[in-house]
């Protein structure tokens, strides 16, 4: 089914005219996920929230739309950092790789990138869900609670990447176009406070179990956020907030780690990114036009079966810097990096996701957004930052041992241990959108990228750590300014 919801806004960054499509082909046509009968006519937003079924479809449609955004993030930040090389010849790919972006690039950061514009569209959709549910009397209380929690979670998730890619950003928490059309940049610290509020509220609303389309029945699919996803994302948020929040980051991560009945680290690294892996906290499913689970964008975009393409897709390969970061015997190097050779040359590529149309007849993978290994690394650093180096090493060694490596045996001072944890993030979370923003968080981006950009053939300028805002957005909002340097 397709439910069309007309969202009326002015055409700029937050007030963008959107026809929100609720794609049953993406979710509800897959009957094990959603079984909702289609309405007979096009409906307007208020009518969507008159019953449980269409309200649920409205919320789940956001996942359908957002499903390719993680890959775009992984590729763009991988090129900007020291994770990926590119064989693409388009100007934007080259500018990302050489850290020489211009404001013009922001108009089309990859054909599908538009991260700013897309994120605000999805935030608008989440705001619409929240506002309409709060006014609805036709949605049952239990379903309303779950959907509100998911909308709060989605908004926090999107704001997290917006502030880490663009710095201070407009904080849109309403669908009122008169308000949204003139929003100024909100200081990053306030946006983080909004994330904390949203995720704290989400913890009170979300189910502790994974639920299906009824919003109440349990399922094995881990494609809808739970209270544990809210804890996991809040742990990350607190870590990025830094001083004064490390104890909170530790506590939030601990709640997830301690739920051993639901989450564990698979010993087989090739199962980590499988559908409903025991390590997965939140995943996103990809569907084809018939509602069947299809291949992840990461597998489709990264896995090579021929030399790297000059087009955007299948153009990225693993950098020498990343290859050299792995220690001898690290099984992540063995299992998560693939190699294609044509008999003359060889190329390494991210192979965390392996199923695509060439390698498999169907997909056994979902895109994993939050997973348990990150929670161990969050708690490790949070403990180290508080002076608990013993606890930090215990968590660090859990991740190292799973990768086939011995316990950490380097210097035991706090600074060295924090550095070791940062290195572990590099080799554990590569091609997952972490490296670029983690370099900025730790204040090491200038030192690292000053060297790496020169090796790429470019010149590093510190302002490039923030992406440019699309010029059209600056033009349409009189209170919105471009990032410095652009």
| CA dihedral sign, ordered 150, 152, 153, 158 | positive
104-124 per-residue burial string, b: 16 or more CB within 10 A, e: under 16: ebbbebbeebbbbbbbbbbbb
Question: CA 26, 30, 32, 38: dihedral to nearest 10 degrees?
Answer: 90
Residue pLDDT, tens place only, 392-432: 999 999 999 999 999 999 999 999 999 999 999 999 999 99
**How many CA atoms, within 13 angstroms, populate the side-chain half-sphere of residue 89?**
2
Which pLDDT value is given to residue 56? 96
Q: Which residues, other chains included, contact 83 with Cβ-Cβ below 8 Å and sequence gap of 6+?
A: 77, 318, 319, 321, 322, 430, 431, 435
Q: Which residues, other chains included, contact 361 with Cβ-Cβ below 8 Å and sequence gap of 6+?
A: none
Distance CA 338, CA 336 (A): 7
Residue with tokens 């913890």: 203
Residue pLDDT, tens place only, 35-57: 233 333 333 456 889 999 999 99
Which pLDDT value is given to residue 110? 52
Distance CA 45, CA 259 (A): 38
Which pLDDT value is given to residue 133? 96
- pLDDT less than 50: residues of the chain: 1-44, 111-112
Please name every residue paired with 186 in a beta bridge, in sequence order, or none if there are none. 169
Structural tokens at position 326: 């792995």
- Average pLDDT over the chain reads 89
Which pLDDT value is given to residue 289? 72
Residue pLDDT, tens place only, 277-301: 999 999 999 887 777 889 999 999 9
CA 41 → CA 1, 48, 291, distances in Å? 11, 11, 21
Tell the burial category of 286 from Cβ atoms under 10 Å away from its Cβ (0-12, 13-18, 19+).
buried
Name the nearest CA neighbour of 80 among 474, 484, 448.
Answer: 448
Check if the beta carbon of residue 485 is closer than 8 Å to that of residue 101: no
Which pLDDT value is given to residue 312? 78
Please name every residue paired with 282 in a beta bridge, in sequence order, or none if there are none. 370
Which pLDDT value is given to residue 108? 65
| CA dihedral sign, ordered 159, 67, 239, 280 | positive
Which pLDDT value is given to residue 114? 75
Distance CA 352, CA 298 (A): 8
């Amino acid at each position: 089914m397709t439910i069309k919801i007309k969202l009326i806004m002015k055409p700029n960054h937050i007030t963008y005219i959107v026809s929100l499509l609720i794609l049953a082909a993406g979710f509800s046509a897959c009957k094990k996920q959603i079984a909702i009968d289609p309405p007979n006519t096009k409906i307007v937003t208020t009518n969507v929230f008159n019953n449980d079924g269409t309200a649920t479809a409205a919320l789940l449609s956001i996942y359908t739309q957002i499903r390719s955004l993680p890959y775009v993030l992984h590729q763009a930040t991988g090129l900007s950092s020291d994770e990926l090389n590119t064989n693409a010849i388009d100007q934007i790919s080259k500018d990302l790789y050489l850290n020489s972006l211009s404001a013009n690039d922001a108009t089309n950061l990859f054909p599908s990138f538009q991260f700013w514009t897309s994120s605000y569209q999805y935030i608008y959709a989440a705001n619409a869900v929240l506002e309409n549910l709060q006014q609805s009397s036709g949605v049952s209380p239990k379903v309303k609670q779950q959907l509100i929690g998911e909308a709060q979670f989605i908004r926090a998730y999107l704001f997290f990447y917006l502030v880490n890619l663009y710095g201070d950003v407009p904080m849109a928490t309403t669908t009122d176009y008169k308000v949204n059309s003139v929003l100024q940049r909100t200081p990053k610290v306030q946006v983080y406070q909004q994330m904390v509020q949203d995720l704290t509220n989400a913890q009170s609303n979300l189910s502790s179990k994974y639920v299906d389309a009824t919003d109440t029945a349990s399922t094995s699919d881990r494609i809808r956020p739970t209270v544990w996803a809210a804890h996991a994302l809040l742990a990350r948020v607190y870590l990025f907030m830094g001083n004064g929040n490390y104890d909170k980051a530790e506590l939030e991560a601990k709640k997830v780690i301690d739920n051993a009945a639901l989450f564990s680290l698979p010993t087989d690294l090739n199962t980590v990114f499988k559908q409903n892996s025991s390590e997965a906290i939140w995943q996103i499913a990809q569907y084809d036009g018939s509602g069947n689970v299809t291949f992840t964008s990461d597998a489709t975009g990264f896995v090579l079966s021929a030399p790297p393409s000059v087009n955007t897709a299948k153009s990225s390969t693993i950098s020498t810097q990343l290859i050299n970061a792995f220690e001898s015997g690290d099984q992540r190097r063995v299992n998560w990096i693939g190699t294609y050779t044509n008999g003359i040359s060889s190329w390494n590529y991210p192979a965390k996701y392996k199923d695509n149309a060439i390698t498999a007849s169907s997909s056994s993978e979902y895109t994993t957004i939050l997973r348990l290994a990150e929670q161990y690394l969050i708690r490790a650093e949070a403990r180290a930052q508080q002076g608990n180096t013993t606890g930090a090493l215990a968590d660090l060694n859990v991740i190292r041992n799973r990768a086939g490596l011995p316990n950490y045996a380097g210097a035991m001072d706090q600074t060295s241990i924090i550095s070791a944890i940062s290195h572990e993030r590099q080799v554990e979370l590569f091609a997952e959108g972490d490296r670029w923003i983690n370099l900025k968080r730790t204040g090491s981006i200038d030192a690292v990228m000053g060297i790496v950009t020169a090796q790429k053939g470019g010149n590093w300028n510190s302002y490039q750590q923030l992406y440019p805002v699309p010029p059209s957005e600056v033009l349409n909002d009189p209170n919105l300014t471009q990032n410095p340097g652009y």
